[in-house]
Amino acid sequence: MTHILSSELLADARKVIDVCRKSGLKIATVESCTGGLLAGALTSIAGSSEVLERGFVTYSNTAKSEQVGVPNSLIDVHGAVSEKVARAMAEGGVTQSQADLAVAVTGIAGPDGGTIDKPVGLVHLAGARIGRETLHFSRIFIGDRDDVRLGSVLAGLELLHSIAE
């Protein structure tokens, strides 16, 4: 059988599903540059319906505000690709769902849209869990649009696993 996702990505998704299932945790994803790929990776695993509560694809700034409550002023001041917006997306993913934890991804997948301060490949990820501090990190992924998006999904799965433990 041919899988559309790599074995590494599927293994990471399986680890997230397993740890959340054992702990009774529900997940929400809040995705911009990955466009739902993170939720897609999770749903590639049998039994994911016990864990994945919902996925938000918040590609536009309006969607970030309407779906998960990111303040427009935050986007205006810091830009959609920023630590503050990533944190607000993750926290909104928890508050706007029945999930216990949420991961957010926002970045510049390219090939256009980069600047000196925010180059193509820059991605901000945040993980929120009820009762814990929201975690954040950023990376600059090298490669084409697909490389940036798939690297972001792998990083998002790693972040989910760490906040689920």
Residue 155 lies in a domain: yes
> Would residue 59 count as lying in a domain?
yes
1 belongs to a structural domain: no
Contacts of range 2-6, beta carbons closer than 8 Å, 24 or more positions apart: 3/44, 5/40, 5/41, 5/44, 6/150
Quick one: pLDDT at residue 5?
82
Q: Does residue 27 belong to any structural domain of this protein?
A: yes
Residue 88 sits in a domain of what CATH number?
3.90.950.20
C-alpha pair distances (Å), 39 with each of 108, 124, 152, 156 = 19, 17, 12, 10
Residue 63 placed within a domain: yes
pLDDT over 80 (residue 41): yes
The total of structural domains in the chain comes to 1
Three-state SS for 107? strand
Tell me the pLDDT band of 2, cut-offs 50, 70 and 90.
low
Q: Is residue 65 within 8 Å of residue 106, measured between CB atoms?
A: no
Q: pLDDT category, 3, cuts 50, 70, 90?
A: low
Is the full-model pTM beyond 0.85?
yes
15 occurs within a structural domain? yes
Classify residue 41: in a domain, yes or no: yes
pLDDT, tens digit, for every residue of 104-136?
999 999 999 999 999 999 999 999 999 999 999
Q: Are 139 and 115 in contact, with CB atoms under 8 Å apart? A: no
The whole domain housing 49 covers: 7-164
Mean pLDDT of 84-88: 98
pLDDT, averaged across the chain: 96
Residue 50 lies in a domain: yes
